[in-house]
Amino acid sequence: MRLTSLLRLAAIATTLAFPAAAHAQYAMMVFGTGPAALCYEQVKAKRLNLSTLEVCNTALKDDTLSAKNRAATYNNRGIVNMRTGNRAAAERDYEDALRISPNIAETQINLGAMFYTNEMFTEAVTVLNEGVKAEDRGARAVAHYNRALSLEKLGEIDEAYADLQAAVRIDPTLAVASQQLARYRIERAS
């Protein structure tokens, strides 16, 4: 049996049937009150605009912010920067978050999404290999989904399919993973 992507077999039909795959990003919770918590709430609510960016900037000026909340706020500001088109600032934010807390799977997931957007698929897979170790089930599912998108771009169809299956198994409500999985079919080798 051979697994193939319908994208590879019928690019025109697939493009018409399915919109381009979008990566997913993951906000990190900040405990307490104040600008860091408000930055998180705004990102979680998908209010990804310059007003939210300013709230996150204000939060990062607070010298009393714990290391955990500072790393989370860099991650959350990275999401805002990414979605407002400032990819260089997003990358710096994700790297700053990882310098503070090197094992934050959610930030690795977001950095992988940024690499995917920048068509740096090998780099995306590398950081997402860590992201799939996330403790949070939702974050782990998103990591598998994002890694699947990058693996497909690299021509690693079997691995991409396995990651999409894992994403759906971990979080059956992750509709984008189910939609992408529907593009695949198994062919018997002749």
Tokens 């690795």 label which residue?
108
Q: What is the mean pLDDT of the chain?
A: 85
Coil, helix or strand at residue 120: coil
Residues 90, 134 within the same domain: no
If asked whether residues 128 and 188 sit together in one domain, one would say yes
Q: Among 82, 127, 83, which Cα is nearest to 107's?
A: 127
- The CATH number linked to 94 is 1.25.40
User: Would you state the pLDDT for residue 185?
Assistant: 84
- Same domain, yes or no, for 68 and 128? no
Band (80; pLDDT cuts 50, 70, 90):
very high
Q: Are the CB atoms for 168 and 181 separated by under 8 Å?
A: yes
pLDDT of residue 126: 96
- 93 token code pair: 């934010």
Residue 13 and residue 33 share a domain: no
Two structure tokens written together for 43: 């990102």
Q: In this structure, are residues 117 and 90 in contact, taking their beta carbons and an 8 Å threshold?
A: no
Say if residue 5's pLDDT is above 60.
no
Q: Decide: 78 and 108 in contact? Cβ < 8 Å.
A: no
Q: Are residues 175 and 137 in the same domain?
A: yes
Choose one of 103, 130, 145: the last residue of a domain: 103
Q: Are residues 14 and 34 in the same domain?
A: no
Is the residue at 115 inside a domain?
no
Lowest mean pLDDT of 91-95, 138-142, 148-152, 184-188, name the range. Answer: 184-188
Q: Are 158 and 184 in contact (CB under 8 A)?
A: no
* Encoded tokens for 190: 């002749």
Split into its structural domains, the chain has a count of 2
* DSSP labels, 83-104: HTT-HHHHHHHHHHHHHHSTT-
- Asked if 48 and 2 sit in the same domain, the reply is no
How does pLDDT run across 21-72, given as a tens digit for each residue?
Answer: 455 665 667 766 789 999 999 998 899 999 999 999 999 999 999 999 999 9
Bridge-based pairing of strands 184-187 and 2-5 is antiparallel
* Residue 132 falls inside a structural domain: yes
The reply to whether 112 falls in a domain is no
Instruction: Tell whether 97 and 53 lie within a shared domain.
Output: yes
Q: Are residues 66 and 11 part of one domain?
A: no
The arithmetic mean of pLDDT across residues 94-115, rounded, is: 92
Structural domain includes residue 74: yes
**Are both 181 and 154 inside the same structural domain?**
yes
Does residue 72 contact residue 30 with C-beta atoms inside 8 Å?
Answer: yes
Q: Which domain holds residue 142?
A: 1-19+121-190
The C-alpha atoms of residue 82 and residue 168 are separated, in whole angstroms, by: 25
Q: Kindly tell me if the per-residue pLDDT of 171 is higher than 90.
A: yes
pLDDT at 4 over 70: no
Residue 125 lies in a domain: yes
- Provide the residue type at 173 as one letter: T
In a domain, 164, yes or no: yes
Rama region for 85: left / alpha / beta (φ>0; ψ in -120 to 50; rest): left
Residue 116 resides in a domain: no
Buried b (16+ CB within 10 A) or exposed e, 129-140: ebbbebeeeebb
Residues 85 and 145 in one domain: no
In a domain, 188, yes or no: yes
Whether residues 36 and 67 share a domain: the answer is yes
